[in-house]
Chains A and B, each alone.
Chain A
Amino acid sequence: PPCKARIYTNHWAVRIAGGTEVAERIAEKYGYRNMGQIGDLKDHYHFYHSRTIKRSTLYSRGRHNFISMEPKVEWIQQQVVKRRIKR
């Protein structure tokens, strides 16, 4: 049976005001890599952290979590794997 527990990835969605440069600076400060804007969603960025667990049933904890305390970071969400099936 499929795993019912939440599976956290090492990807984050972040909303940062101020543009790409600000996002880039904040990503670098906390060890993330800015993968770019999420589709067409303005001010939303895809952050990837290579030094966190790729798949975990626990949300990631570490120094990189302090990113949420940055004033420019309006919202942050660690990405969870969703079970999706082709029909």
Chain B
Amino acid sequence: DYKPSPPLSLSSSAQLSQAQSNIFYNDAKWSSMWYIHCSDDVHNCQSDMNIMGAWKRGYTGKDVVVTILDDGIERNHPDLLQNYDPQASFDVNGNDMDPMPRYDATNENKHGTRCAGEVAAAANNSHCIVGIAYNARIGGVRMLDGDVTDMVEAKSLSLQPQHIDIYSASWGPDDDGKTVDGPASLARQAFENGIRMGRKGRGSIFVWASGNGGRSRDHCSCDGYTNSIYTISISSTAESGRKPWYLEECSSTLTTTYSSGENYDRKIITTDLRHRCTDSHTGTSASAPMAAAIIALALEANPLLSWRDVQHIIVKTSRAGHLSAPDWKSNAAGYNVSHLYGFGLMDAEAMVKEAERWRQVPAQHVCVESADRQIRTIRPEHVVRSVYKATGCTDNPNHHVIYLEHVVVRITITHPRRGDLSINLTSPSGTKSQLLANRLFDHSMEGFKNWEFMTTHCWGEKAAGDWVLEIYDSPSQLRSQKVPGKLKEWSLVLYGTSVHPYSSLRNDKPRSTDTLTLTPTEEEFTEEYNGPCDAECNDGCEGPGPHHCINCLNYFLKFKNNTRTCVSECPSGFFHDDRKRCKKCSSSCETCIGSRSDQCTTCRAGHHLNEGTHTCVASCADSFYLDYDFNICRKCPENCKKCNSSNVCTECNPGMSLQGNRCQLTCDPGTYYNGHRRTCEHCHRTCATCAGTGAEACTKCAEGYLMEDWRCVLTCSTGYYLSEQTSDNGHMQKSCKMCDHSCYECLGPGERNCSSCVSGYNLEAGACVVSTICKDESWAEGSFCVLVKRNNLCQRRVLQQLCCRTCSQKG
């Protein structure tokens, strides 16, 4: 008893507008579409995806093409017929153009048709539902109903890339909690070709349903499709905001839409096989097409969005809302993110608003940091921690990453039981991503061979700094081998930009249009210049010269007429500020760090840089000398008024006297200059003048004292005689001088002025002679004893006895 009403034609947009303002459609299940009517008081869901808000702004997916990669699409379904696009369809399994599903008793191949309806089921045709992008064109690729090989995936992912905007996939490797698998070489190539060349160079959009293996304790980081930076990985939340039982968590999830939950939660209503309607669509399979449709609305608002622009907009507009997760955190860029839901629930209205005024983000830079190949043993119940100091490839302007998007970690680990491993990564800003959680059922001994884990949680953060990788081994009871694992190698791949993605430096040309009255056409957004850009341009240009750049790679000069030109370095006489603008130095500076006169680093010809003040002067001031090698005025040593170099004073300050090459304080007689205390201190009381402290430092004795070997004494000591000499100025100078060594005491110099002798010697005519009576002549008498006497050794008792006769002789 189905009576199809004539479909809305494109010319009846006025009728549509009216319908939108009332937002009521006659589709059979319209009122049951709870995820669209969230804002009504009747329903339970607390956070809205604001789909109607996007519709009210006039966005319904018109001229956007979405294809469902699945088990086929019932192209003649009453709710899909209007929007079906044969050019966006193919049968890979059957190798023909018709993607109709294979029918059987179990209706096994209903999946693709259910996904398609969510995206683009026609509106107001009395049948079933209203697709979120109900004016988009919908196609389908039959590729799961047969042997799925790398080639089958690649064919599907690279179907008509210039025609298809969005590929939605709600399948993947087994979610049994023990599989690690991803795209092989052809599929990877299809991804890379798609984002590089699809959609006329803006990049194909790949939307992927996250894993459904929650009950198997699976982790979606072991799925190379959701783990890829080229796919937008979609999570699910139930109407209540609680985590569905099937949901897997991982750091690669970007965003979330509604889907089914527990048995008592409502499911997704959509088109079903055999022209039916179903209210039993479940799982993350239902979320990916929803997300694809919301992205289609954004692409209608701005068809020039690149594949990265779309991800940026999703990050910016997704909200935590009432989604329940224990690990919501705010990363250093201010985005709320969790492992269950990514950046939160999608918001269609916010996305289209953002898309309308969006400026393309700067070119993607990829920084592959050096690999850490130090082998580390992973012992059971222990943690291996490895820190890597990333630079963000500062040495290479084409790869320099400052602001992060995706972060990929390539890891090679050997381990007897892979499921016992869990891995965390902490960014320099402190954001912790769980790259891998324990998987109870994964007993594989294969470990990870250069597996790429990906996290979106550091989006917007700074790349440079210490990255910490932690690997935990939590042995399960099922583990038989106690052989420790090994971390063989790991490396970081940082994706992002060197310029802030939302910097105002970029092109200010407005892109918004009045969407209620004018549908933007592609001509309005087409760039006029398609030729090569100057090497200094970072993100496109409007002409060949450096002044045509939209964004500068390095620095820019701004002129009085408000034009700007990109330069590799600021010219002489300019410095660059934080925003990479070249600004003028002070007039005397050649180079500088600021515009003030005291911020010079080198000076123009004829000027010298003053070391202390960083000003440029024509000549060095007093107490400075010119260092010719560096053309710098440097300070003279202490107390110098003038100097030639750092250690040669030529003139001292008042109160100082030049002593050698140094200036020191001049002290009064009776005092000396103490260099440690920097003061004049009194000499010893016996000194008239001195060079230092103590009685041994006298240079001239006080009145009544006599100089005796650097000491001043009242009378000469034993062994010294009083000497009187006339000085150059005619004054008599008295001092004590040492007696001859043969005398004990003396009255004057020489050996014949002794006044007393040591024991054993007799004083005879002023000389001290040996007084010993010789016994028998000793064996040593002779030339030996002559030598003893000649060398004045007779004073020694042993020799005196040995050479008694010779020593007793006079002479």
> Which A residues are within 8 Å of any B CB, using their own CB?
2, 7, 9, 11, 13, 35, 38-41, 44, 46, 55, 77, 79-87
* A82 in contact with B171 given A39-B154, A41-B189, A87-B211 (CB within 8 Å): no
- Residues of A near B174 (CB, < 8 A) are 2, 83, 85
- Residues of A near B150 (CB, < 8 A) are 13, 77, 79-80, 82
- Chain B contact surface mostly: mixed
How many residues on B have C-beta within 8 angstroms of the other chain's C-beta atoms? 43
Report, nearest first, the 6 A-B pairs whose CB atoms are least far apart. Answer: A39-B158, A40-B158, A79-B149, A87-B212, A39-B155, A87-B285
Contact call A39/B159, Cβ cutoff below 8 A: yes
Contact call B148/A41, Cβ cutoff below 8 A: no
Bound-state Cα–Cα, A11 to B144, Å:
16
Contact call B170/A39, Cβ cutoff below 8 A: no
* Interface members, chain B 160-207 (any A CB < 8 Å): 160-161, 170-175, 179, 181, 184-186, 189-190, 193-194, 197
Contact call B186/A44, Cβ cutoff below 8 A: yes
- Residues of A near B283 (CB, < 8 A) are 87
- Residues of A near B794 (CB, < 8 A) are none
What would be 24 A-B contacts, judged by CB atoms less than 8 Å apart? A7-B147, A13-B186, A38-B158, A39-B156, A39-B158, A39-B159, A40-B194, A41-B190, A44-B189, A46-B151, A77-B185, A81-B149, A82-B173, A83-B181, A84-B144, A84-B148, A84-B171, A85-B173, A86-B170, A86-B171, A87-B170, A87-B175, A87-B209, A87-B284
Specify which of B111, B171, B193 is in contact with A41 (CB 8 Å cutoff).
B193
Bound-state Cα–Cα, A2 to B159, Å:
30
Contact call B70/A11, Cβ cutoff below 8 A: no
* Interface members, chain B 448-477 (any A CB < 8 Å): none
* A86 in contact with B190 given A40-B158, A46-B151, A79-B149 (CB within 8 Å): no
B271-299: CB near A (< 8 Å → 1, else 0) gives 00000000000011100000000000000
Q: Does B590 contact A (CB under 8 A)?
A: no
Bound-state Cα–Cα, A85 to B150, Å:
15
A63 to chain B, nearest CB (A): 22
B114-158: CB near A (< 8 Å → 1, else 0) gives 000000000000000000000000000000100111111111111
Nearest-CB residue, chain A, relative to B170: A87
Q: Does B791 contact A (CB under 8 A)?
A: no
Contact call A86/B285, Cβ cutoff below 8 A: yes
Contact call B111/A86, Cβ cutoff below 8 A: yes
Contact call B154/A38, Cβ cutoff below 8 A: yes
Bound-state Cα–Cα, A55 to B146, Å:
12
Q: Does B22 contact A (CB under 8 A)?
A: no
Q: Does B95 contact A (CB under 8 A)?
A: yes
Contact call B172/A84, Cβ cutoff below 8 A: yes
Q: Does B79 contact A (CB under 8 A)?
A: no
Q: Does B71 contact A (CB under 8 A)?
A: yes
Contact call A38/B149, Cβ cutoff below 8 A: no
- Residues of B near A84 (CB, < 8 A) are 144, 148, 171-173
Bound-state Cα–Cα, A37 to B649, Å:
87
- Chain A contact surface mostly: strand
B96 to chain A, nearest CB (A): 12
Specify which of B95, B147, B156, B186 is in contact with A9 (CB 8 Å cutoff).
B147
Specify which of B170, B173, B185 is in contact with A83 (CB 8 Å cutoff).
B173
B166 to chain A, nearest CB (A): 16
- Residues of B near A35 (CB, < 8 A) are 95
Determine which residue in A2, A44, A79, A87 has the highest number of CB atoms from chain B within 10 A of its CB, and name it.
Answer: A87
Contact call A11/B111, Cβ cutoff below 8 A: no
A71 to chain B, nearest CB (A): 21
Contact call A41/B149, Cβ cutoff below 8 A: no
B318 to chain A, nearest CB (A): 21
- Residues of B near A55 (CB, < 8 A) are 147
Contact call B189/A80, Cβ cutoff below 8 A: no
- Residues of A near B111 (CB, < 8 A) are 86
- Residues of A near B159 (CB, < 8 A) are 39-40
Q: Given A9-B147, A85-B171, 11 other A-B contacts at CB below 8 A?
A: A13-B154, A35-B95, A39-B155, A40-B159, A40-B160, A41-B158, A44-B154, A79-B152, A81-B147, A82-B148, A86-B171
B128 to chain A, nearest CB (A): 21
Contact call B186/A82, Cβ cutoff below 8 A: no
Contact call B172/A40, Cβ cutoff below 8 A: no
- Residues of A near B170 (CB, < 8 A) are 86-87
Bound-state Cα–Cα, A2 to B176, Å:
11
Bound-state Cα–Cα, A55 to B148, Å:
12
Contact call A41/B172, Cβ cutoff below 8 A: no
* A41 in contact with B154 given A35-B95, A85-B172, A87-B283 (CB within 8 Å): yes
Nearest-CB residue, chain A, relative to B108: A86
- Residues of A near B284 (CB, < 8 A) are 87
B400 to chain A, nearest CB (A): 31
Bound-state Cα–Cα, A86 to B189, Å:
23
- Residues of B near A81 (CB, < 8 A) are 147-149
Determine which residue in A7, A9, A44 has the highest number of CB atoms from chain B within 10 A of its CB, and name it.
Answer: A44
- Residues of B near A77 (CB, < 8 A) are 150, 185-186
Bound-state Cα–Cα, A41 to B161, Å:
11
* A11 in contact with B151 given A40-B190, A83-B173, A87-B171 (CB within 8 Å): yes
Nearest-CB residue, chain A, relative to B158: A39
Nearest-CB residue, chain B, relative to A47: B151
Contact call A39/B157, Cβ cutoff below 8 A: yes
Specify which of A7, A82, A86 is in contact with B70 (CB 8 Å cutoff).
A86
Nearest-CB residue, chain A, relative to B151: A13
Contact call A38/B151, Cβ cutoff below 8 A: yes
Bound-state Cα–Cα, A35 to B96, Å:
11
Contact call A85/B175, Cβ cutoff below 8 A: yes
Bound-state Cα–Cα, A44 to B197, Å:
16
Bound-state Cα–Cα, A85 to B190, Å:
20
- Residues of A near B209 (CB, < 8 A) are 87
B153 to chain A, nearest CB (A): 8
Bound-state Cα–Cα, A44 to B285, Å:
31
* A40 in contact with B161 given A86-B144, A87-B212 (CB within 8 Å): yes
Bound-state Cα–Cα, A85 to B455, Å:
24
Bound-state Cα–Cα, A55 to B164, Å:
33
Bound-state Cα–Cα, A38 to B189, Å:
11
Contact call B156/A87, Cβ cutoff below 8 A: no
